[in-house]
Chains A and B, each alone.
Chain A
Amino acid sequence: MAYYISLYISLAIFAIGLIYKIATWFFLKTSVDSKTIPTAKRVSSALKGIISTIFSSKVLTLVKVFFLDVILQRKVLHEDSFRWLTHILIYGAFMLLLFMHALDKFITSAIFTDYLPTLNPFLFLRDFFGALVIIGICMAIYRRFILKAPRLKTNPMDIYAIILLAIIMASGILLEGTKIGSYSVYKQMVADYADIEEEEELKALTAFWVKEFGTVAPDLKKPFDTELLEEGSEVHEMSCAGCHSRAQWAFVGYSVAFASRGVALSLDRTGIHTLLWYIHFLACFIGLAYLPFSKFFHIITSPLSLLANSVMDKRGSESANIATRQALELDACTHCGQCTSRCSVGVIFEQIQNINILPSEKIQSLKRIVSGKETDEKGLKLILVGTSLCTNCHRCTDVCPAGINLEELWFNMREVLFQKDYQEFSVLSPLSFYRGLMKEGIRQGDYKRPLDLAREAIAAESDLMKNQVKNLTLTRPDREIQGMLGLSDQVSTFKECFACQTCTNVCPVVANYENPMEILGMLPHQIMHAVGLGVRDLAFGSNMIWDCVTCYQCQEQCPQGVRVTEVLFELKNLAIRNVYNLC
């Protein structure tokens, strides 16, 4: 009764959760474009897209991807064979357990008319699959908690997933083990299935089961005499053997029974196997009910993401469908950390402690933004910084075992966050090169906006530049800024500058303008001089430092050996540090 009530409750929660989750794929917005696409359009485009794909040659791609990437997990194998084995053991054997054991009434009985869970090969296979899952879980624990790959983060959801799986497996095995040793279970089986009338026969059978099946009986002790056992064997052959293979075939459960044989009788009296049975099915049902909201949802979403991405691309697919796919992709992440381990800039997390640099964590932040859970300005700014510190190398996307187009997610989310008008200086670095190449897909105003905002922030730094003061009042030099310069080699050479203007004269940026000071503010030699005088505003407030092409002409040709380009680099570093306090 309790079994069916909890089963139906968990099924209902699962169904509601599933419907809710699927609905979110059609209304959550992951990009600037998606904000203007109504849900109805997304639903109709998705249906149209699915139908036209199924009735085209692309269906062959789908079949191929289903076998190679979904079933055989080719992408995981390619990156890391240990992880592949771990995952194949857990998911492969667990699926087999699910079909053969949990759903035996529907699947196994239908295929094998003589199916009985107590008969081989099913008795053996159940334990065999269970053992494989346990090996897999141990490997997963080893990888996450002992091996500790660099920058691999473990979040509560990962721990929950491992714990839930471990509870299901452990309770199942302990249940089986206690049942093997249990005298009450044995008696129940005799009452239900065996046709025994005489006390002697029962005694013989019990002796046989104690000796051969691991049953622990209260009044019988080994060794038994041969005659009794022979009789027991005969009774067994007649009454039991047809429906029950030897318990040793259930080798994991049998080992538990063997190990606990000393306390089996007292355990049996407490009715422990009933308790374990409750734990076992309740753990399964909790897992089922919670599945759409947990990491296990990837069982459904990762295959969908892999399939969708195999037949979709940015140019050929409707933007409504890309919006839907991206919302789905947020659910497809398993937090396996593969992206982070191959991230091109992952290592800088050691220097700039912003968790959003790491792709596996960035996607968690995106989930929070998209579902409206992240509204704090500081948090959003941090996510923008982390999302901006990306070279768009595409490796995260190439290695994602769930096939998520991560790079496109980052790109779109950056644009969404840019619309919040935060000043973000990393847009003024070569990291923006890719954004420039992709600008045709960004509205012109949206493209310029973050760049203009960063420029405004520079201008705001400098009161002196704003006021166009002609004569500077003499002030004490800002020793702080001079002191902060000097991260790289010989930057303090700015002290040697005698303002000969060679740097400015050879600068291709200066040469590009008729009236360079109007556009660039201070010119290179003036900046060197400003740093020398410790005039902070003039050093930071010039566009020149951000418009430097880093061609090193100035540095190469300086007669005094001033590392002009290096000084400009460091001023940029300091400006960024001042605004964001990054490090």
Chain B
Amino acid sequence: MDGKAIMKFALFLGCTIPARLPQYESSSRSVLGKLGVELVNIKEFNCCGYPLRNINFKAAVLSSARNLALAERESLNILVLCKCGFGMLKHAAHFMKEIPALRKEINAILKKEGLTYEGDIEIKHLLSVLYHDVGVEVIKEKITKPYTKLKIAAHYGCHALRPKEILQFDDPVNPTLFDNLVRATGAESIDWQARLDCCGAPLFGTNDDLSMDLTEKKLANAKQSGADYLCDACAYCHIQLDTVQGMLNKERGGNHLLPAILYPQLLGLSLDIDSVTLGLAMNKIDITSVEKYLSI
């Protein structure tokens, strides 16, 4: 039971998930709950800083560091659902560690609120927690309804993979973590060329044509490679591959329809969690037919 005591995290949701992707929160909570991971809510958490990187480096780091300091105050490691948020928090922790002048400046601002960040906590993505803390074997044991004949294209997401020296998520050239998690559910994780490519989300809203070009290529490649569904674990990637895919199909026509499912939704069904809790109906492109692949 010692392992369980360690599996306690401050859940970092960021801005996008509560506002636009509540099914990612509800599915993650139920899956993690079932696998014995305890989550603590810190109401004061704010923007991870990611969307501010283009605008002002210090503002982005300050925003990020405030979250780190809040978790550190509670002596909790952070579990992040969004990969952009994960990447930003990891970058901020790195910058705060490596640049003493920056650490001093940011901590001086945080001190006004009685906060400080010393770098004593870990930042983990949902997939890392499932893979390293819970473990694939434990997940497999808990699965009661494995999938059969389901082909999944696992989308890794840039901001968890690169740069490796900072993120330490998986091998950036040949990652396997996500594929193994997909396989744990009984589904097949297909090999596809564009699996490590960008989904296009960082440019949506600023250069929609380019953003959609990237999304379209990715979808086409996954579909060509025989995928039934895309699987992702990031707020921005998912909205891009779900909502924006819908907009893309409407704008450009063509035959790109490849539904995207969030990993906790995929895993949740095989853990026999009901589809309402997993928010299947909340995805913009219908994914409810994935239930047909479950063995009873």
Contact = CB atoms under 8 A, between A and B. Distances in A.
A549 B52 CA distance: 14
A431 B16 CA distance: 11
A434 B205 contact: yes
A394 B109 contact: no
Interface stretch (B58-66, B175-183, B267-275, B286-294): B58-66
Contacts of B62: 347-348, 350-351
Contacts of B279: none
Interface string A331-348: 000000000001111111
B141 interface: no
Interface in A478-493: 487-489
A549 B63 contact: no
Contact of B46 (A346, A425, A487, A577): A346
A238 B19 CA distance: 71
Interface string A132-155: 000000000000000000100000
Contacts of A351: 56, 58-59, 62, 109
Nearest to A554: B162
Looking at chain A's contact residues, the main secondary structure is helix
A343 B164 CA distance: 32
A351 B20 CA distance: 27
A553 interface: yes
Interface string B41-55: 001001100111111
A445 B59 CA distance: 32
A552 B198 CA distance: 10
Given A512-B210, A550-B202, A552-B158, A391 B15 contact: yes
Nearest to B15: A393
Contacts of B18: 393-395
Interface string A374-399: 00000000000000010111110000
Interface in B179-217: 197-198, 200-208, 210-211, 213-214
Given A512-B214, A555-B162, A433 B205 contact: yes
B132 interface: no
A425 B159 CA distance: 23
Nearest to B250: A440
Question: Which of A351, A553, A556, A572 has the largest count of B CB atoms less than 10 A from its CB?
Answer: A351
B54 A572 contact: yes
A583 B57 CA distance: 11
Nearest to B158: A551
B15 A488 contact: no
**By CB atoms of chain B within 10 A, which of A391, A426, A556 has the most?**
A391
A432 B43 CA distance: 25
Contact of A546 (B43, B46, B206, B213): B206
A343 B46 contact: yes
A576 interface: yes
Most B C-beta atoms less than 10 A away, residue of A345, A436, A565, A570: A436
A108 interface: no
B162 A569 contact: no
A39 B6 CA distance: 62
Nearest to A350: B109
The CB with the most chain A CB atoms within 10 A, among B51, B54, B59, B113, is that of B54
A19 interface: no
B172 A556 contact: yes
A155 B286 CA distance: 50
B163 A583 contact: no
B236 interface: yes
Interface residues of B, number: 57
Nearest to B167: A552
B206 A427 contact: yes
A452 to B, nearest CB: 11
A555 B161 CA distance: 12
Contacts of A427: 205-206
Interface residues of A, number: 56
Contact of A583 (B19, B56, B63): B56
A185 interface: no
B109 A509 contact: no
A435 interface: yes
Contact of B52 (A343, A345, A488): A345
A412 to B, nearest CB: 17
Interface string B133-166: 0000000000000000000000000110111100
A431 B49 CA distance: 10
B76 interface: no
Contacts of A583: 56, 58-59
Contacts of B46: 343-347
Instruction: Give the residue among A393, A394, A547 with the most B Cβ atoms within 10 A.
Output: A393
A507 B109 CA distance: 37
B57 A547 contact: no
B95 interface: yes
B239 interface: yes
A551 B162 contact: yes
Interface string A402-430: 00000000000000000000000111111
Nearest to A391: B15
B113 to A, nearest CB: 5
B55 A429 contact: yes
A573 B55 contact: yes
Contacts of A430: 50-51, 54, 84, 201-202, 205-206, 236
B249 interface: no
A549 B202 contact: yes
Contact of B112 (A150, A552, A565): A150
Contacts of B99: 488-489
A569 B57 contact: yes
A152 B78 CA distance: 28
A569 B211 CA distance: 18
Interface string B232-258: 000010010001100000000000000
B208 A436 contact: yes
Contact of B55 (A395, A509, A576): A576
A350 B112 contact: yes
A98 interface: no
A348 B59 contact: yes
Interface in B70-100: 84, 94-95, 98-99
Interface in A428-462: 428-437, 439, 451
Contact of B19 (A347, A350, A392): A392
Contacts of A425: 55
Contacts of B236: 430, 433
Contact of A431 (B51, B162, B207, B244): B51
Greatest chain A CB density within 10 A among B14, B59, B84, B206 is at B206
A120 B84 CA distance: 66
Contacts of B109: 350-351
B13 to A, nearest CB: 9
A103 interface: no
10 contacts: A348-B59, A348-B62, A351-B62, A391-B51, A425-B55, A430-B50, A431-B52, A437-B239, A569-B57, A572-B54
Given A391-B15, A429-B51, 17 more contacts: A344-B46, A345-B52, A348-B62, A391-B16, A395-B15, A430-B201, A431-B55, A436-B208, A451-B206, A487-B57, A488-B57, A508-B214, A546-B206, A556-B162, A556-B164, A573-B55, A577-B56
* List of 4 A-B pairs having minimum Cβ-Cβ separation, nearest first: A436-B205, A432-B205, A393-B15, A552-B162
